Amino acid sequence: MLQKRTIPFFNYPALFAAQEAELMEVLRDVCSRGAYILQKDCQEFEQAIAKYTGAKFALGVANGTDAIWLGLRAVGIGPGDEVIVPSHTYIASVASIHFVGATPVLADCGPDHMLDPALVQALVTKRTRAIMPVQLNGRTCDMEALQRIADDHGLMIVEDAAQALGSKFDGRMAGTFGRFGTISLYPAKLLGCFGDGGLVLTNDDEVAHNVKLLRDHGRNEEGRVVAWGFNSRLDNIQAAVLNFKFKSFEQALQRRREIASQYQQRLGDLSQLTLPPAPDADPRHYDVYQNYELEADRRDELRAHLEQCGVRTIIQWGGTPVHQFSELNFKAVDLPATDRLFKRCFLLPMHTALTTGDVDYICDAIRNFYGK
């Protein structure tokens, strides 16, 4: 009989409590300087992320959703263009395409839950301008295969790496493959602030120039309006929190990879489950486990059992991949792999406040359910 624990899906209070004194000092410092908008903390953060990812530019914006649609505007994607994007993503990726006036073309996923390059080719039409891989769950897609398709058809790659800061494919960081890549700094993300925040990464001077104008009312460095723009800046107070958290970012990623290894060791023998690739499964992929998304037989019963044991789990996107939102009037598409996945997938807790004992408890509860 398990000694009952309560394990939240994500533990904001515990993560704050662990560093409360230092975080309050960060806030006090920014407020005492009255440094709120596009100040040095923001510039330092942008420089730190550019250095870390190897991108020429990292530009702070208001959230990960704005990062995508500002990026799309900055590269000139608009009416008449089609963008291929997986259906297994947050509505934000697809809405961003919609809001620049382009048409999202929804694609199926492969066995690792990511955009399947083998299925992208068939979706390319005369109107296709870009492929938007979504670097889901802290994993980077097979970018070699996607780049090959993009090169063959003269398409852009634009990456939604909202969930993948620090993840790599062939040693290269998520967010740096395409014309631009985007990161979300939402509180529960790998690197999360105390509200909304996002980044556009790019190696392209023109894209960086356009995003800088778009995020700040079209104003240039002298403050003169030289183009149409919006207000989508990363708050300096958030940047200061992020600078502080970034100091321990590598340890946080390591901890996530350890937790993934522990799940793998404790659950890998259960035939009723399909686990995500283990951290050492493929030398081309460096996964950082924003989420631990697995598949399970009798998923809904298993989740109810875990809930009774005090373990909170969720299904991404409220359980609905984008093509199933019938109110949004997508052209009828047949995405059997995504349909099947969403009958089976869910997320186990994955965050740095989890202890080894918590993970063991979760695994014991799952093993009990399957009578193992």
Ligand X SMILES: Cc1ncc(COP(=O)(O)O)c(C=O)c1O
Strands (E), the chain: 57-61, 82-86, 103-107, 128-131, 156-160, 168-169, 172-173, 180-184, 198-202, 273-274, 285-286, 292-296, 345-348
**Which is closer to ligand X, CB of 89 or CB of 236?**
89
**Which is closer to ligand X, CB of 325 or CB of 370?**
325
**Which is closer to ligand X, CB of 163 or CB of 352?**
163
CB 366 within 8 A of CB 346: no
Characterize the bridge pairing of strands 82-86 and 128-131. parallel
Which residue, judged by CB position, is nearest to ligand X in the bound state? 64
* Residue 301 exposed, middle or buried by CB count within 10 Å (0-12, 13-18, 19+): exposed
**Which is closer to ligand X, CB of 293 or CB of 358?**
293
Chain residues binding ligand X by CB under 6 A are 63-65, 89-90, 92-93, 134, 160, 162-163, 184, 186, 196, 198
Distance in angstroms (rounded) separating the CA atoms of residues 279 and 287? 6
C-alpha distances out from residue 151 to 63, 146, 156, Å? 30, 9, 8
**Which is closer to ligand X, CB of 11 or CB of 365?**
11
Q: Which amino acid is at 266?
A: R
Q: How far is the CB of 121 from ligand X (least distance, A)?
A: 23
Q: How far is the CB of 92 from ligand X (least distance, A)?
A: 4
**Which is closer to ligand X, CB of 169 or CB of 186?**
186
Q: How far is the CB of 292 from ligand X (least distance, A)?
A: 15
Q: How far is the CB of 75 from ligand X (least distance, A)?
A: 17
Q: Who's near 93: CB < 8 A, 6+ residues apart? A: 68, 85, 132, 134, 160, 162
Q: How far is the CB of 309 from ligand X (least distance, A)?
A: 27
Q: Is 186 helix (H, G, I), strand (E, B) or coil?
A: coil
Q: How far is the CB of 2 from ligand X (least distance, A)?
A: 32
DSSP 217: T
